[in-house]
Structure 1
Amino acid sequence: MAEGNTGNTSGGGNMGLAFIVGGLLVVVVIIAFFVFGRGGMPDTTKDIDVDVNLPKVEAPSVPTPPST
């Protein structure tokens, strides 16, 4: 009979699962920070005024039909 061996060897696999769940929780918190906190971007608006001047384009004149 082996002394000190109680037969309870479970629990090793649960530690790996705890790290996976903890890592996923950290990822979700980081994503929530950027989505809801806008990543610390300032609330500034830019006034963009664009003026585009193009030359006037006209269709070519239609030739007159030949007289018969």
Structure 2
Amino acid sequence: MAQSSNGNGPWLAFLVGGLIVAVAIIAYFFYAGRQAAPDLARSVDVHVSLPKAPPMPEGPKLPDVPIPVPK
């Protein structure tokens, strides 16, 4: 009788097992790092001083629109 196994089963199981272990390690580091920090008094004072931009030059003046005369 001929065997119908193609031999890919152990490698596929090893790959899936490795992926599961990798996801478990990432999840552990992701959730283990979220510890409650003590309430510390924090004071942040940010002052940003920017220089004033130079004034824009005057643009060309548009001509007055003629008012239509009723006929």
- TM-score band, normalised by the shorter chain? 0.3 to 0.5
Structure having greater relative contact order (Cα 8 Å, sep ≥ 6): 1
The structure carrying a bigger helix percent of its residues is 1
TM-score (norm 2): 0.45
